[in-house]
A and B are shown apart, each in its own frame.
Chain A
Amino acid sequence: MADALSIESLVFRWPGQQYDTLTIDRLQLPAASSLFVQGPSGSGKSTLLNLLAGVLVPTQGLIQVLDQPLSQQPGKVRDRFRADHIGYIFQQFNLLPYLSVIDNVMLPCRLSRRRHDKAMSEASSLIDAAADRLTRLNIPDTLWHQRVSALSVGQQQRVAAARALMGLPELVIADEPTSALDQDNVDNFMDVLTGQCQALGSALVFVSHDRHLARWFDQELELAPYAGSQSEAMS
């Protein structure tokens, strides 16, 4: 099976800056396994995630996602690839406030035919597929048709995870999704997220400054704080 992710000689530097924001010599993540990326503020975590999602391209080096040389493809292809193969979870405010909980979860399948078809192959309808994900992430069905604002922050993050897992993406990327949660919620969230990624066969790249979370993951990558780096200030 293809690697979920492989990086070689990656260098990223914001245009006009004197220091590299991010350098990674070599990284390999097998399919369906999980990677914890730890680093303090300013270590280029967000930059790495933008690179993996294909929103940014490296200054030098190669990023392959699912054996696709993502970093060498044009923006249109990278955007298409992200829609088809990557689930993304933000720190917070993941959900569109004008859609119901279940509509938010179905959104990836509305934007990607591939994920739509995959969702339809495992359930009889998109709603059933979304219901399955919401159940897996412990969202009670009384909330499914509620407005997003009716949910607690912890629930919102789990809905975001449910959305990221819609249509079986090969890779889920999470950008400090627990930073707004209290400790009980963090444990609960980490349990269901890592558990369901494993159950559904999605690789997981998880970024946080909190090294205590490392125990949930197969691999760990530590980003060094970079003296001249200002990248976090840009985010």
Chain B
Amino acid sequence: MNWIRLALASLWNRRTTALLTLGMVALSLSLLLTVDRVREDTRASFSNTLSGTDLIVGGRTGSLNLLLYSVFRIGNATNNISWESYSDLRRNSAVDWTVPLSLGDSHRGYRVIGTTTDYFDHYQYGRNQALSFRSGQPFDDVYDVVLGAEVAEVLDYQLGDDLVVAHGLGTTSFENHDDKPFTVVGILEATGTPVDRSLHVPLEGITAMHVDWQQGVKLPGFEISADEAREMDLTPDSVTAVLVGMKSRVQTFSFQRLINQYRAEPLSAIIPGATLQELWQLIGIAENALIAVSFMVVVTGLLGMVTVILAGLNERRREMAILRALGARPGHILGLLMLESGLYGVAGLLAGLLLHWGVIALASIWVQGTYGIQLTLALPSPTLLLVLAGFVGLAFLVGLLPGWKAYRQSLSDGLTATT
């Protein structure tokens, strides 16, 4: 029958109210969709950032903090590891490889990482994917730099370009190491991890930049040129963190204990996966709260919708009486209102999805740049799809409330409603 057409025409006749109601339902759903998408993508992004590394070692600090600053480049190190301790742990027979990381400088908002060429051999992300070069090769000289994909793209650097590193981590810095420019020798493929937003220089380069600095300020009247620095001993005093690969995974726990009890210097060693679990537990509380709030907003939207339909019933008695006169059963009237309510649900879901995708498309540019999290335009997760199907069912079901009222009304009015 043409009940859907009638319901649509009737809704169109009340389009201001109907569109506002639809907007309310759509907005509430898009909130739920977006919160869930951000949650999924954040998790995926964090989980994909590092793989193949058995331990991360840093100065004594909280395990979450160490994970965040060494891998995700969020926050700052509080303690470093002395070069002696680093050399010591590297010599341990259980250790297969190490990648030292030295953090603290930046270039136009992107972090600069001092490391060794082992970084390009051993750093893995996603499902044990190694880094690969889009162009160029690993650094060789003290003043070589290898750019992450995003850095090269956004700042438009090519192989052979020179760039100057700033002291500290701000987007704009007053203190630049402009006497010692670096030359771009390699650009990495995009990985979707913080690597894309990093500049990689040799540890010696970091030392060279700071030979004429002390306590974080440049020593006045004491300048050492780039070439003079090249002749000096550029072995660093310390590194910020070390990624460690074990010869055998079995040894991970005993080696972790060894480092945590290291006597010469207070150190921390963490297992990335385990610490990530800690992070999820912490974030999980906030996530659940957000999801709960989103659900309540969706329920509020549904309640609002029912209220709007109920409030409009009285002025539609005429409409119902006409339909009755044309042979509509009271059951038809009930069905008509359930249909209307359900249509709000279906249209609200579609509009909510579009709105959600629009928000994600717009926000992803900013989120990718600021937090390095890749937001994806995708269908909701299977669980959420079930929830959404439930929502549509519920939207039809709550139509029973105004439907029942109209049913009673049309029985008592008969054909003589005068409103």
Given A46-B415, A93-B318, 9 extra CB contacts under 8 A:
A53-B415, A75-B330, A76-B329, A80-B327, A83-B328, A96-B10, A98-B9, A110-B2, A175-B416
Shortest A74–chain B CB gap in Å is: 11
With beta carbons under 8 angstroms apart, the residue of B326, B414, B416, B418 that contacts A107 is B326
Residue B1 at the A interface, CB < 8 A?
yes
Task: Known A93-B318, A110-B1; judge A88-B325 contact (CB<8 A).
Answer: yes
Residues of chain A contacted by B415 (CB below 8 angstroms):
46, 49-50, 53, 55, 88, 90, 175
Q: Flag whether A191 is at the interface (Cβ < 8 A).
A: no
B328 near A55: Cβ-Cβ < 8 Å: no
Given A93-B318, A96-B322, A97-B13 in contact, is the A56-B414 Cβ separation under 8 Å?
yes
Q: Mark B1-40, 1 if CB is under 8 A from A, else 0.
A: 1100000011011000000000000000000000000000
Q: Pick 23 A–B contacts, CB within 8 A, sort by A.
A: A46-B415, A50-B414, A53-B415, A55-B414, A55-B415, A76-B329, A80-B327, A82-B325, A82-B327, A88-B326, A94-B322, A95-B322, A96-B322, A98-B9, A99-B9, A107-B326, A108-B326, A110-B1, A110-B2, A111-B326, A112-B327, A175-B416, A234-B416
A98 contact set on B, CB distance < 8 A: 9-10, 12-13
B278 within 8 A of A: no
Contact A79 B329 (CB under 8 A): yes
Chain A contacts for B246, CB-based, 8 A: none
With A and B bound together, what is the CA distance between A79 and B407 in angstroms?
A: 14
Residues of B with C-beta under 8 A to A95: 322
Shortest distance from the beta carbon of A186 to any chain B beta carbon, whole Å: 20
Interface size class of A (residues with CB under 8 A): 20 to 34
- Chain B residues with CB under 8 Å of chain A are 1-2, 9-10, 12-13, 318-319, 321-322, 324-330, 414-416, 418
Residue of A nearest to B325 (CB): A88
Contact A83-B322, Cβ < 8 Å, known A46-B416, A88-B415, A98-B12: no
A235 at the interface (CB under 8 A from B): yes
A170: which B residues are within 8 A, CB to CB? none
Q: Using known A-B contacts A75-B329, A96-B319, A110-B2, determine if residue A235 contacts B9 with beta carbons closer than 8 Å.
A: no
B258 to nearest A CB, angstroms?
Answer: 79
Which A residues between 70 and 124 are near B, CB-CB below 8 angstroms?
A: 75-76, 79-80, 82-84, 86, 88, 90-91, 93-99, 107-108, 110-112
With A and B bound together, what is the CA distance between A31 and B152 in angstroms? 91
A90 to B417, CA, bound (A): 10
- By beta carbon, the residue of chain B nearest A88 is B325
Chain A residues 183 to 217 lying within 8 A of chain B, measured CB to CB, are none
| Cβ proximity bits A45-58 to B, threshold 8 Å, 1 near / 0 not | 01001100101100
| Alpha-carbon gap, A215 to B85, bound state (A) | 117
Contact B1 A111 (CB under 8 A): yes
Q: A90 to B322, Cβ gap below 8 A?
A: yes
User: How far is A91 from B9 in the complex, measured between Cα atoms in Å?
Assistant: 24
How far in angstroms is the closest Cβ of chain B from A66? 15
Residue numbers in A under 8 Å from B13 (CB-CB): 97-98
Residues of B within 8 A of A55 (CB): 324, 414-415
With A79-B329, A99-B9 in contact, do A235 and B418 touch (Cβ < 8 Å)? Answer: yes
Give Cα A86 to B328, complex, Å. 12
Question: Distance (Å) between the CB of A101 and the closest chain B CB?
Answer: 14
Of the listed residues B319, B325, B414, the one surrounded by the most CB atoms of chain A closer than 10 A to its CB is B325
